[in-house]
Amino acid sequence: MKNIPNYISISRIIMSIALLIPKTFSITFYIIYIYCGLSDMLDGFLARKYKITSQFGAKIDSIADIVFVLISVVKILPLLNLSKGVYVCGIIIIMIKICNIIFGYAHDKKMILPHNIPNKITGFCLFISPLLIQFVDIIIVEFLICILATFSAVYEGLYIRGKV
């Protein structure tokens, strides 16, 4: 039982890579995509519930998150007609997050990737956005994601600096 959350995180890495195979927005794509999202929620839940959290587990979870997000972006982004504002917002968020990582490393001599509530809410909203764009105007989705992700990145910086 001790390693099950880590195995789930590792399976998310494997399934994220498998996401490269099916056609984007196909049934197979959605099945793998939803598995990856659910496994992200499940691994942390099990680790906390059974008190089997670890530094390794947190790192492998973060790596799995990064792999899933990058592959999802590669598959989904080219098919969307996003506004230029989204790309500008994305660059700003990336710059804030890079500064957060650099500051965390310079201050604590380790990479700090917080798993806080704003990051979780933003991650969930990003996760469901490919499902929502079938039903909701993409401009609304863009706006909400940009606001949430910017707040989350700023909050993360304050968290790392010990301000919240």
Residue 156 token pair:
């993360």
User: For position 120, what pLDDT does the model report?
Assistant: 85
Listed residue (146, 89, 149, 162) closest to 120, CA to CA: 149
Range in 3-12, 25-34, 70-79, 104-113 with the lowest mean pLDDT: 104-113
- The confidence score (pLDDT) of residue 147 equals 96
Q: How many CA atoms lie within 13 A of 131 on its CB side?
A: 11
For residue 123 the two structure tokens come to 């991650």
| pLDDT single digits (tens) 134-164 | 788 889 999 999 999 999 999 999 988 887 7
64 near 10, Cβ under 8 Å? yes
State the pLDDT at residue 89: 95
**Residue 52: what pLDDT?**
93
**DSSP result, 32-46:** HHHHHHHHHHHHHHH
State the Cα–Cα distance between residues 32 and 47, nearest whole angstrom.
22
Q: Helix, strand or coil for residue 49?
A: helix
